[in-house]
Protein backbone atom coordinates (compact mmCIF):
# COMPACT_ATOMS: atom_id res chain seq x y z
CA UNK A 1 0.00 0.00 0.00
CA UNK A 2 2.79 2.40 0.88
CA UNK A 3 4.47 1.86 -2.48
CA UNK A 4 1.17 2.51 -4.28
CA UNK A 5 0.72 5.76 -2.33
CA UNK A 6 4.31 6.72 -3.18
CA UNK A 7 3.56 6.38 -6.90
CA UNK A 8 0.74 8.91 -6.65
CA UNK A 9 2.05 11.41 -4.10
CA UNK A 10 5.06 13.65 -3.82
CA UNK A 11 6.79 11.91 -0.91
CA UNK A 12 10.24 12.64 0.48
CA UNK A 13 11.00 8.95 0.91
CA UNK A 14 9.64 5.45 1.39
CA UNK A 15 10.76 2.93 4.00
CA UNK A 16 9.76 -0.68 3.38
CA UNK A 17 10.03 -2.81 6.52
CA UNK A 18 9.96 -6.21 4.83
CA UNK A 19 7.32 -4.97 2.45
CA UNK A 20 4.95 -7.47 0.83
CA UNK A 21 6.42 -6.70 -2.56
CA UNK A 22 7.47 -9.58 -4.75
CA UNK A 23 6.41 -12.09 -7.34
CA UNK A 24 2.94 -13.61 -7.17
CA UNK A 25 4.53 -16.96 -6.20
CA UNK A 26 6.39 -15.34 -3.27
CA UNK A 27 3.24 -13.60 -2.03
CA UNK A 28 1.16 -16.78 -2.32
CA UNK A 29 3.82 -18.70 -0.41
CA UNK A 30 3.86 -16.08 2.36
CA UNK A 31 0.07 -16.16 2.49
CA UNK A 32 0.18 -19.91 3.10
CA UNK A 33 3.13 -19.83 5.50
CA UNK A 34 2.28 -16.76 7.60
CA UNK A 35 -1.11 -15.18 6.97
CA UNK A 36 -3.17 -18.39 7.16
CA UNK A 37 -1.56 -19.58 10.44
CA UNK A 38 -1.86 -16.09 11.92
CA UNK A 39 -5.53 -16.04 10.95
CA UNK A 40 -6.12 -19.34 12.70
CA UNK A 41 -4.92 -17.83 15.98
CA UNK A 42 -7.62 -15.16 15.77
CA UNK A 43 -10.26 -17.65 16.90
CA UNK A 44 -8.41 -18.64 20.07
CA UNK A 45 -10.13 -17.67 23.32
CA UNK A 46 -8.48 -16.61 26.56
CA UNK A 47 -9.79 -16.34 30.11
CA UNK A 48 -7.71 -13.23 30.84
CA UNK A 49 -5.14 -10.84 29.40
CA UNK A 50 -2.53 -12.53 31.59
CA UNK A 51 -3.33 -15.93 30.06
CA UNK A 52 -2.98 -14.45 26.56
CA UNK A 53 0.37 -12.87 27.46
CA UNK A 54 1.68 -16.09 29.07
CA UNK A 55 0.80 -18.09 25.95
CA UNK A 56 2.20 -15.42 23.64
CA UNK A 57 5.47 -15.19 25.57
CA UNK A 58 5.84 -18.98 25.64
CA UNK A 59 5.90 -18.96 21.82
CA UNK A 60 8.05 -15.87 21.25
CA UNK A 61 11.54 -14.74 22.24
CA UNK A 62 11.99 -12.23 25.05
CA UNK A 63 12.08 -8.66 23.81
CA UNK A 64 13.58 -5.56 25.40
CA UNK A 65 11.84 -4.16 28.48
CA UNK A 66 10.38 -1.32 26.41
CA UNK A 67 9.01 -3.73 23.79
CA UNK A 68 7.57 -5.97 26.53
CA UNK A 69 5.69 -2.97 27.97
CA UNK A 70 4.37 -2.17 24.48
CA UNK A 71 3.26 -5.80 24.01
CA UNK A 72 1.40 -5.69 27.33
CA UNK A 73 -0.42 -2.45 26.35
CA UNK A 74 -1.19 -3.80 22.89
CA UNK A 75 -2.64 -7.04 24.31
CA UNK A 76 -5.02 -5.03 26.48
CA UNK A 77 -6.21 -3.17 23.37
CA UNK A 78 -6.23 -6.17 21.04
CA UNK A 79 -8.38 -8.48 23.15
CA UNK A 80 -12.14 -8.08 22.86
CA UNK A 81 -14.58 -9.43 25.47
CA UNK A 82 -17.05 -12.07 24.32
CA UNK A 83 -20.52 -12.70 25.79
CA UNK A 84 -19.28 -15.81 27.62
CA UNK A 85 -16.65 -13.78 29.51
CA UNK A 86 -13.66 -14.97 27.49
CA UNK A 87 -11.47 -12.78 25.31
CA UNK A 88 -10.30 -13.10 21.70
CA UNK A 89 -8.22 -10.97 19.38
CA UNK A 90 -10.17 -8.20 17.65
CA UNK A 91 -8.92 -8.88 14.12
CA UNK A 92 -11.11 -11.01 11.88
CA UNK A 93 -9.57 -13.96 10.08
CA UNK A 94 -11.56 -13.44 6.87
CA UNK A 95 -10.55 -9.77 6.73
CA UNK A 96 -6.88 -10.60 7.24
CA UNK A 97 -6.94 -13.18 4.46
CA UNK A 98 -8.94 -10.95 2.10
CA UNK A 99 -6.53 -8.06 2.63
CA UNK A 100 -3.51 -10.20 1.75
CA UNK A 101 -5.34 -11.77 -1.20
CA UNK A 102 -5.84 -8.26 -2.59
CA UNK A 103 -2.07 -7.71 -2.41
CA UNK A 104 -1.43 -10.95 -4.31
CA UNK A 105 -3.61 -9.68 -7.17
CA UNK A 106 -1.44 -6.57 -7.70
CA UNK A 107 1.83 -6.30 -9.62
CA UNK A 108 3.68 -5.14 -6.52
CA UNK A 109 7.09 -5.12 -8.20
CA UNK A 110 5.65 -3.00 -11.03
CA UNK A 111 4.25 -0.63 -8.42
CA UNK A 112 7.65 -0.37 -6.72
CA UNK A 113 9.28 0.36 -10.09
CA UNK A 114 7.07 3.45 -10.43
CA UNK A 115 8.17 4.95 -7.09
CA UNK A 116 10.21 8.10 -7.74
CA UNK A 117 11.24 9.06 -4.21
CA UNK A 118 14.23 7.58 -2.33
CA UNK A 119 13.52 4.09 -0.96
CA UNK A 120 14.98 2.23 2.01
CA UNK A 121 14.40 -1.53 1.92
CA UNK A 122 14.74 -3.20 5.31
CA UNK A 123 15.19 -6.95 5.52
CA UNK A 124 15.32 -8.94 8.77
CA UNK A 125 17.95 -11.67 8.60
CA UNK A 126 16.74 -13.92 11.44
CA UNK A 127 14.34 -16.77 10.69
CA UNK A 128 10.66 -16.38 11.39
CA UNK A 129 7.73 -18.69 10.65
CA UNK A 130 8.96 -21.68 8.66
CA UNK A 131 12.56 -21.28 9.84
CA UNK A 132 13.57 -18.74 7.21
CA UNK A 133 13.60 -14.95 6.95
CA UNK A 134 10.26 -13.53 5.76
CA UNK A 135 11.85 -11.63 2.87
CA UNK A 136 13.87 -14.10 0.81
CA UNK A 137 17.13 -13.18 -0.91
CA UNK A 138 15.41 -13.68 -4.27
CA UNK A 139 12.61 -11.30 -3.33
CA UNK A 140 15.04 -8.73 -1.97
CA UNK A 141 16.94 -8.94 -5.28
CA UNK A 142 13.68 -8.57 -7.23
CA UNK A 143 12.86 -5.45 -5.22
CA UNK A 144 16.27 -4.00 -6.14
CA UNK A 145 15.76 -4.80 -9.81
CA UNK A 146 12.44 -2.96 -9.62
CA UNK A 147 13.97 -0.02 -7.73
CA UNK A 148 17.73 -0.01 -8.41
CA UNK A 149 18.36 3.25 -6.55
CA UNK A 150 17.00 1.86 -3.28
CA UNK A 151 19.18 1.44 -0.22
CA UNK A 152 19.21 -1.79 1.78
CA UNK A 153 19.47 -2.33 5.51
CA UNK A 154 19.90 -5.90 6.72
CA UNK A 155 18.59 -6.15 10.28
CA UNK A 156 20.90 -8.91 11.41
CA UNK A 157 19.44 -9.19 14.94
CA UNK A 158 15.77 -9.14 13.90
CA UNK A 159 13.07 -11.34 12.47
CA UNK A 160 9.97 -10.07 10.66
CA UNK A 161 8.00 -9.44 13.86
CA UNK A 162 10.78 -7.89 15.91
CA UNK A 163 11.47 -5.17 13.31
CA UNK A 164 8.47 -3.34 14.76
CA UNK A 165 8.15 -4.78 18.24
CA UNK A 166 11.77 -4.37 19.23
CA UNK A 167 13.81 -2.56 16.55
CA UNK A 168 17.56 -2.91 16.90
CA UNK A 169 19.45 0.34 17.56
CA UNK A 170 21.27 0.19 14.21
CA UNK A 171 17.90 0.05 12.40
CA UNK A 172 16.66 3.11 14.26
CA UNK A 173 19.87 4.96 13.41
CA UNK A 174 19.65 3.93 9.73
CA UNK A 175 16.05 5.17 9.50
CA UNK A 176 17.01 8.49 11.13
CA UNK A 177 19.88 8.94 8.65
CA UNK A 178 17.61 8.04 5.72
CA UNK A 179 15.00 10.59 6.81
CA UNK A 180 17.67 13.26 7.28
CA UNK A 181 19.03 12.55 3.79
CA UNK A 182 15.51 12.82 2.34
CA UNK A 183 14.95 16.10 4.20
CA UNK A 184 18.26 17.53 2.87
CA UNK A 185 17.27 16.65 -0.72
CA UNK A 186 14.01 18.55 -0.27
CA UNK A 187 15.86 21.64 1.01
CA UNK A 188 18.28 21.67 -1.94
7-65 pLDDT per residue, tens:
988 889 999 999 999 999 999 988 888 887 878 888 889 999 999 999 888 877 777 88
pLDDT, mean of residues 101-106: 89
Q: What is the pLDDT of residues 125-170, one digit of tens each?
A: 999 877 888 898 999 999 999 999 899 999 999 998 888 888 999 9
- Count other C-beta atoms under 10 Å from residue 51's C-beta: 14
Q: Which CATH superfamily is domain 2-24+107-187 in?
A: Alpha/Beta hydrolase fold, catalytic domain (3.40.50.1820)
**Every domain of the chain and the residues it spans:** 2-24+107-187
Cα dihedral 171, 177, 183, 188 in deg (nearest 10): -150
pTM for this predicted structure:
0.78
Q: What is the pLDDT of residues 57-78, one digit of tens each?
A: 887 777 788 888 888 888 888 8
Across 21-25, 89-93, 108-112, 164-168, least confident range: 89-93
- Nearest CA among 186, 187, 161, 158 for reference residue 174: 158
State the pLDDT at residue 60: 74
DSSP assignment letter at 34: I
Amino acid sequence: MAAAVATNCDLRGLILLEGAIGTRAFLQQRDTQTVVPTGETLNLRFNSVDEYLRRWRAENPRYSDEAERWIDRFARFELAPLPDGTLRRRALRDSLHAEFESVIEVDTLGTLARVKCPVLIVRADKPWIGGQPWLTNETRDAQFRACPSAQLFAARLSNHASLIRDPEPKLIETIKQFVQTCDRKVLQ
